[in-house]
Structure 1
Amino acid sequence: MKKLADEYGWHVCFVASYDHRPVDLNDKEDWVFVDPGRDSADLYILNHIHSDNLLITQDIGLASLAMAKNAHVISPRGKTFKEDSIQTALDFRYLSALERKKGNYGKGPKTFTEEDRKRFIKTLCELLSNFEGDSAYTSN
């Protein structure tokens, strides 16, 4: 992903709590570590994201809040979150949480596949190419 961002002139910033710090971190300048805590990374992201930034997350709640700030949001599987479908996704998330409270657990997420990786790269390239050359969106 970093290679693609560099190709299009975008700066990449990874956000994680100290609890989730990668062991062998090569490029420390692209990482921000926040205090441990359930929502620390989400709060950092929401406090620093701007209009027309790109957020990659599988967290539907975070996606919804970032979209309210006019950020573009895609999932690691290459799904683009859209205004017309985010409420449905939030409703399903809520219903799933109710079921889990009752003790009903589903199968969990599907295994991440090579097709997911290809779809992500395609979606990311399409989104980044929409802004290529527009100095308002690049870090140069």
Structure 2
Amino acid sequence: MKILVDADACPVVAIVERVAKEKNIRVILVCDNAHVLRSEYSEVVIVDRGADAADFKLFSLSEKGDVIVTQDYGVAVMALGKGVRAIHQSGKWYTNENIDTMLMERHIAKSERRKSGKSHLKGPKKRTEEDDVKFEESFRRMLETR
């Protein structure tokens, strides 16, 4: 098992690396060349900028039994189809049981924003220490579950 991280602007890289190091699990951080990323622990894979280039590289490096950390639902869908477990930076697990609902909720929210003319959101709320604790607890459970 290895852990692959969709590392473009991912706020939980340090948590993933710390937990992985404790458990002696290999980590691969994938990002595009618009980001500067270095790691003392993880392998860093940098791809050229392009629509979904990092996502496709992440998927191509994954194997059944691996774990992917991503906020991208599309990556999660591909991962699940390959037998790869996936977790959102919030700590929510993507599963075959919940992915359809998550995709539908995202579609409905996007449609509502478009209808209201509010296509640009303020962005995500500021990440808290509680968010990090929640992610770490969920991530540890995922790694312990086969």
Q: Identify the structure with the greater helix proportion.
A: 1
Structure 1 runs of 4+ aligned residues shifted over 4 Å read: none
Q: How far has the Cα of 1:55 moved from its partner?
A: 0.4
For 1:95-134, list aligned pairs within 5 A. Answer: 95-102=108-115, 103-105=117-119, 106-130=121-145
Aligned to 1:8: 23
Separation in structure 2 between the aligned mates of residue 120 and residue 49 of structure 1, nearest angstrom: 21
Q: Identify the structure with the greater strand proportion.
A: 2
In structure 1, the gaps of 5 or more residues are 132-140
Q: Is the 8 A contact 1:21 1:33 kept in 2?
A: no
3-state SS, counterpart of residue 84 of structure 1: coil
User: Larger RCO: Structure 1 or Structure 2 (Cα < 8 Å, ≥ 6 residues apart)?
Assistant: 1
Post-superposition Cα deviations, 1:14-66, rounded to whole Å, max 9, x if no partner, equal 000001223xx343861100010120000101112111100001111211111
Q: Does 1:46 align with 2:54?
A: no
3-state SS, counterpart of residue 13 of structure 1: strand
In structure 2, the gaps of 5 or more residues are 1-15
Q: How far has the Cα of 1:129 moved from its partner?
A: 2.4
For 1:62-81, list aligned pairs within 5 A. Answer: 62-81=75-94
For the pair shown, which has the larger CA radius of gyration, 1 or 2? Answer: 1
Q: 1:57 to 1:26 in 2, by over 3 A?
A: closer
Query: Please, what TM-score do these two structures have when normalized by structure 2?
Result: 0.78
Query: Please, what TM-score do these two structures have when normalized by structure 1?
Result: 0.81
Q: Identity, % of aligned pairs?
A: 31
